[in-house]
Amino acid sequence: MANKQNNRNRNNNENMSVEEAGRKGGEATSRNHDRDFYEEIGRKGGEATSEKHDDDFYEEIGRKGGEARSKQRSNNSNGNQNRRNNNNN
């Protein structure tokens, strides 16, 4: 099935699909760089973000993340309860 999808993503002249190019580029990057490289780009990205946004931005994303995590835990808890109920039947 994945092979059919790759064929659909290709142009008629058999060029690589955008998806394939992205995947291959990511693999090459990981082969050519070490942990220090990723730490450095992460640090630079964090600094750039903090220069562009104020405290309200961080409060908002923290609130949204907390709500999402709470919902996830609630869903997991409900799923566990359902599994326990099914096992008792």
Q: Over pLDDT 90: what percentage of the chain?
A: 65
Q: What letter represents residue 36's amino acid? A: D
Tokens 């190019």: give the residue.
21
Q: pLDDT confidence of 78, banded at 50, 70, 90?
A: confident
User: Rounded mean pLDDT of the chain?
Assistant: 85
Is 38 or 1 the better-scoring residue by pLDDT? 38
pLDDT at 12 over 60: no
On the question of pLDDT at 69 being above 80, the answer is: yes
29 vs 65: CA distance, rounded Å: 29
Residue 28 pLDDT > 80, yes or no? yes
Q: In angstroms, rounded to a whole number, what is the distance separating the alpha carbons of residues 40 and 82?
A: 45
